[in-house]
Structure 1
Amino acid sequence: MTRVLVVNAGSSSLKLRLLGADDTVERSAEDLAEVRDWPAPDAVGHRIVHGGTRFTDPVLVDPDVRTALDELTALAPLHQPKSLDGLDAVSELYPDVPAVACFDTAFHTTIPDAAATYAIPAQWRERYAIRRYGFHGLSHAGCSRRVAELTGARRIVTAHLGAGASLCAVLDGRSVDTTMGFTPLEGLVMATRSGSVDPGLVLWLTEHEGLSPHEVAETLEKRSGLLALAGTADLREIDADSLAMQVYVHRIAASVASMAVSAGGLEALAFTGGVGENAAVVRTKVAERLAFLGVAVDDDGTTDGEVTARDAAVRTLVVPAREDLEIARGTRAALHVHGGR
């Protein structure tokens, strides 16, 4: 099996890449109609946001799996339907080509119970499968693997910064903590998402201001974050010394320090994602806040490479996000398990 069509369906975008046997990008598009003129793939790999507790590795999609994925929609109502729409559309186009689901939550299933468990009644945790799942796992897995190859580091923190944003603590190639939790709303300040807020605030808004749970959720998801702080969700339009930038950087730096605790130290820090790769000002400001951990950068604005300052104890890198490579890797592994189908 050589050629893999990678389908990455986000909440507001669709990215399609056809990768050859050596992972060379043969075709790329953002419209499914274009795929009809491409060479037929040997397999299709899909990014699926949520795998719940059942799916901890890439899996060949069959009717049972497809039904199970649909049942997980309640855990990621903004993202899962788009992923499944992409799965169905491409499966209709290539009905005889095996499809593999690769999960954003899977990389984080190795997080220890101490980091994954919420301090809420056991009956809630068990009945509703409530735990810290984490997301962006495909990006964190690929990024941390690349950092380990380049540096030999064992204790790594990866920062996936884009419209959505999260950090991951990686120890010896395994996720041991992350900033997103039961939903992708927890953690860092994002483009339109608030990140972590006091749960008491949510209760106060519903009880004292009469806002419905739906109104609160919509506001925290779509009208908060950088948009609420600066009037724009585009970091490129935000002044480097503004309150919005200060809040954004503060949350990232504080969370990197927290992730370092989970990893038992910090040997390498890697930035990836649209902001992580392109916003040198963010990397520099975060590094300044983390000087006490040995982080220092000499950042010339590179979008791919090392930016570690001379004599810094922690190596800092910029790694292009290549979720497509991680999906192709997972797709081939899943098909190998199923006898090369």
Structure 2
Amino acid sequence: MALILTVNAGSSSLRFALYEGDTRPAALLRGRVEGLGGSDPRAHLTPERDFAALSMAGVVDHHSAIRALCDWLTENSLQHRIGAVAHRIVHGGDRSGPAVVDDTLLAELEELKSFAPLHQPHGLDAIHALRKPLPYCPQIACFDTSFHRTLPAVARRLTLPHSLADRPLRRHGFHGLSFEYIASSLPARIPNAQRVIVAHLGSGASMCALHHGRSVETSMGMTPLDGLPMGTRSGAVDPGVLLWLLETRGFDAERLGNVLYRESGLLGLSGISGDMRTLLESEDPAAQEAIDVFTYHCARTLGSLVVALGGLDAVVFTGGIGERAASVRADIIRPCAWLGLRLDPAANEDHGPCISTAGQAPSIWVIPTDEEQVLALQAMQLIGP
């Protein structure tokens, strides 16, 4: 049986998995390389016993991590067993679903690099790199933006002159693979929940309002820079601030981009780290201030999404912070008590799955996301088992 390889290139990580199955793909192996671009990147394989280790010799960035993945496939004699490769591509423009990669699609996606500079180049690099060892294997691009194709017109429009309303200049939304996984899991877990807010909180963070499992509003806009403050990304900033930096501080586009994408968010607020785990362990008041700003914006965004839904049946936390940081969840929910949201402290410390008080509506949940599962399923549905 042919395997499906999934590749998920994040801003500082590379995750991959191998799946098999005719109708519902099952993971044989999951791997991740973390800390890319830092001083000590590390690899993890689950399970470890059935495969040779992934060599980290010379791995410092995404390029070298992808080369290491290609070498690992060869060392484990897997390249001839793979029937398709499914890639997470953050920005798909107006694409409404997954697509087999060809040169035309690659050129289209290259033009979107500037909309997602922390992710799009790495995703496309992985496609180019895996074409060589797997020349006859279809590469499938699966887009984060596609899930939000159901946004209503009023949510898609930017408040710019009509003459600037070209197709790329609209709100797209991101983290769609994660939101799609959560939406698919809701009928089994919360069957009567029709109006659900999902908070995907990690180094990148966004929230989505689901109505009957469909995206009707989200916190990110045209780029994954918008919305909530993140690990190193600013989130929403008054455009007047950007004009002021350009006009009075002599910033050019490159400097401004570095500040917004790499020097802001939790890192910029705290001056310590963009990693929530480090901030939670710190006794520095600046760390707590950064956490407070983050949770304030999350709570405020949650409230606005309730308006888009016309009510609320459930809140779901997912992503690295959302799944593992109990105190952050508590700080977000506390100011939302007026919505009827009540945490069960013990359940919250145990990370759920249901963390609201018994019988409480709206309910609150922690559901681990699985973007790789969605990648494999989309590839299987596109090309068949």
TM-score, normalised with respect to structure 2? 0.83
Partner Cα distance (2:352, 2:27) in 1: 18
RMSD, matched Cα: 1.8
Which residue is equivalent to 1:20? 20
1:49 maps to a residue whose letter is: V
Which residue is equivalent to 2:5? 5
1:329 maps to a residue whose letter is: L
Are 1:139 and 2:156 counterparts?
no
Q: Secondary structure at the match of 2:165?
A: helix
Quote the sequence identity (%): 39
2:222 maps to a residue whose letter is: F
Partner Cα distance (1:235, 1:72) in 2: 29
Unaligned runs of at least 5 residues, structure 2: 33-67
2:175, 2:200 within 8 Å by CA — same for their partners in 1? yes
Aligned with 1:29 (options 28, 31, 46): 31
> Deviation string for 1:284-322 (max 9, x for gaps)?
111111111111111343345111212421111111120
1:6 maps to a residue whose letter is: T
Tell me the matched-pair count.
Answer: 335
Are 1:158 and 2:198 counterparts?
yes
| Offset, 1:38 | 5.0
Relative to structure 2, which stretch is displaced further, 103-112 or 128-137?
128-137
1:43, 1:331 within 8 Å by CA — same for their partners in 2? yes
Are 1:289 and 2:335 counterparts?
yes
Q: Secondary structure at the match of 2:303?
A: helix
1:302, 1:318 within 8 Å by CA — same for their partners in 2? no
Are 1:321 and 2:323 counterparts?
no
Partner Cα distance (2:307, 2:155) in 1: 11
1:159, 1:276 within 8 Å by CA — same for their partners in 2? yes
Which residue is equivalent to 1:308? 356
Matches within 5 A, 1:58-137: 58-126=98-166, 129-137=168-176
Unaligned runs of at least 5 residues, structure 1: none
2:89, 2:144 within 8 Å by CA — same for their partners in 1? yes
Distance 1:4-1:245 versus aligned 2 partners, 3 A rule: same
Q: Secondary structure at the match of 2:236?
A: coil
2:307 maps to a residue whose letter is: V
Relative to structure 2, which stretch is displaced further, 29-38 or 267-276?
29-38
Q: Secondary structure at the match of 1:215?
A: helix
Which residue is equivalent to 1:148? 187
1:59, 1:101 within 8 Å by CA — same for their partners in 2? yes
Q: Secondary structure at the match of 2:82?
A: coil
2:25, 2:377 within 8 Å by CA — same for their partners in 1? no
2:341 maps to a residue whose letter is: V
Partner Cα distance (1:304, 1:35) in 2: 36
Q: Secondary structure at the match of 1:42?
A: strand
Relative to structure 2, which stretch is displaced further, 275-284 or 261-270?
261-270
2:241 maps to a residue whose letter is: L
Structure 1 runs (4+) greater than 3 angstroms displaced: none
Partner Cα distance (1:95, 1:327) in 2: 20
Which residue is equivalent to 1:254? 300
Partner Cα distance (1:34, 1:3) in 2: 15
Distance 1:38-1:251 versus aligned 2 partners, 3 A rule: farther
Are 1:245 and 2:247 counterparts?
no
Partner Cα distance (2:10, 2:120) in 1: 9
1:50, 1:72 within 8 Å by CA — same for their partners in 2? yes
TM-score, normalised with respect to structure 1? 0.93
